[in-house]
Structure 1
């Protein structure tokens, strides 16, 4: 079975690669910078250096594959949604030109809104483009990554995380490794076709104060959260070096999904995954603090 994997050094992609290797598959990995792959991984994969926003390069890199794991690459530019659109053109071109049998697309909870959810709107656009092709595709509607806390290490060390999400509104928290296991199961299984949507909700829905209490207990560091206004968060994000366009895209992911948003896919045994925030915080976050 020939499987291609994008973003092989990303939070989810690196686990997809490792899981495929354990399953006995030698994946083809599409990497913008192959030098970021660990030497021991480089020996076990077929690497193609490619920009995912270059349709001709992506078509060439995915020739002959049976299944594709696709992540729209993140954008740090002024117009993130335009960058998502460029990646979508590459993906659609590859699926159509190469007749790829199965595509697993890493989407997000909130993509079902289609509009009004900031950066998630870019993922919604990719979903719609694949659906219009009539491709055999699974859209993974993922919850809030545990690893987002690694982007806030200074705040965690200081013991206070500012958020614009309502403190009494729960959201699905999920480990990227669990997303990868779900993705690999779909990539390896040939007994499905058509359009599928599979939510990946993690083990539990948590409010931000509940998550902070769990992280505090697991790391041994006091941690609390404080809700701030949207403009205050904009100032914080701009101070971190984000462009104005990216700031609005990031802010929109929260403002578009708060105030009563309910995911299209309910929590079920199919959408619930095992890794707890406590286990992840103890094993991954604690050593980094």
Structure 2
């Protein structure tokens, strides 16, 4: 039995789709089952509720061999530690009580880097990994680069202004990955019963690109000029708060991006095992361009 958390989200949905063709029994935890396609609801067992609730995860993990663990975004959390570590505590108790053997979790790279101790969401994700590992399960933390798919949040400005924004230097080369590749790696691990122990699995995409490189590629694919514009960290924090994030979660995002700019973005050594196939150009052609043209 494989349990999938956040099955209606960007990554969880793709993980679940990759698992549906297997012979494994699948159970999902979801607040609103109607967000799942009808054919998916017919194929899986559904436990309704939040996977931050002890009663829910206790029921969901009963008889489970493996769990896909993804902490959902909580823009209103009182701290990044509460958002990641606090949310995961009930699940870790249920991992122990229900005898879950293997967990695959969405996390971040940067463990051991000098700036990782004050890297906002990254720091909290690594602390979450430690908590899960302490539950006695075999654990694979997906050590993820920044997502290409995050650019979809800026589709309107790319489409209408030919601009996208961040606080990171435009010349800093860093890895990025496509969420579909994350889902492929996660599903492979969930279906593989042979691994044990605790380790991280980097997912870095096939190349390191700067935002200026990405702007050039977007321009070529979209057939229009696209530029990257670096913005002050204070402006980003104010914008996030205006969108409803708590002060702590807005600052956590800023701290993460500043840590990337200070060397965290290149802290994970690239290896053949951690290099996933979807290039940024391919992602732009297959995902970004249709979104901009829609």
Report matched runs for 1:157-168 at 5 Å: 157=159, 158-168=161-171
Q: What's the counterpart of residue 152 of structure 1?
A: 154
Aligned in 2, Cα 1:236/1:69: closer, same or farther, shift over 3 Å?
A: same
Instruction: Kindly state the Cα deviation for residue 111 of structure 1 after the two structures are TM-superposed.
Output: 5.0
TM-score normalised by the chain length of structure 1: 0.93
Check whether the contact 2:47–2:56 (CA below 8 A) recurs between aligned residues. Answer: no
Q: What's the counterpart of residue 137 of structure 1?
A: 139
Aligned-partner Cα distance in 1 for 2:265–2:149: 23
Instruction: Kindly state the Cα deviation for residue 223 of structure 1 after the two structures are TM-superposed.
Output: 1.1
Instruction: Kindly state the Cα deviation for residue 222 of structure 1 after the two structures are TM-superposed.
Output: 2.1
SS of residue matched to 1:125: helix
Check whether the contact 2:75–2:244 (CA below 8 A) recurs between aligned residues. Answer: no
Aligned-partner Cα distance in 2 for 1:65–1:171: 37
Deviates more, 1:244-253 or 1:265-274: 244-253
Q: What's the counterpart of residue 204 of structure 1?
A: 207
Q: What's the counterpart of residue 15 of structure 1?
A: 14
Q: What's the counterpart of residue 285 of structure 1?
A: 288
Deviates more, 1:95-104 or 1:73-82: 73-82
Aligned-partner Cα distance in 2 for 1:84–1:76: 12
- Residue correspondences, number: 288
Aligned-partner Cα distance in 2 for 1:262–1:231: 20
Instruction: Kindly state the Cα deviation for residue 91 of structure 1 after the two structures are TM-superposed.
Output: 2.1
- Deviations for 1:130-180, whole angstroms, at most 9, x for unmatched residues? 222342100110111111011112221221112111222122110111111
Aligned-partner Cα distance in 2 for 1:54–1:214: 44
TM-score normalised by the chain length of structure 2: 0.92
Aligned in 2, Cα 1:152/1:132: closer, same or farther, shift over 3 Å?
A: same
Whether 2:226 is the aligned partner of 1:223: answer yes
Whether 2:84 is the aligned partner of 1:76: answer no
Gaps of 5+ in 2: none
Whether 2:42 is the aligned partner of 1:43: answer yes
Check whether the contact 1:73–1:87 (CA below 8 A) recurs between aligned residues. Answer: no
Instruction: Kindly state the Cα deviation for residue 79 of structure 1 after the two structures are TM-superposed.
Output: 1.7
Q: What's the counterpart of residue 176 of structure 1?
A: 179
Aligned-partner Cα distance in 2 for 1:223–1:126: 37
SS of residue matched to 2:193: coil
Aligned in 2, Cα 1:77/1:181: closer, same or farther, shift over 3 Å?
A: same
Whether 2:85 is the aligned partner of 1:85: answer yes
Check whether the contact 2:85–2:131 (CA below 8 A) recurs between aligned residues. Answer: no
Aligned in 2, Cα 1:195/1:215: closer, same or farther, shift over 3 Å?
A: same
Aligned in 2, Cα 1:112/1:51: closer, same or farther, shift over 3 Å?
A: farther
Gaps of 5+ in 1: none
Q: What's the counterpart of residue 193 of structure 1?
A: 196
Aligned-partner Cα distance in 1 for 2:254–2:28: 31
Deviates more, 1:222-231 or 1:77-86: 77-86
Q: What's the counterpart of residue 59 of structure 2?
A: 60
Aligned-partner Cα distance in 2 for 1:52–1:16: 17
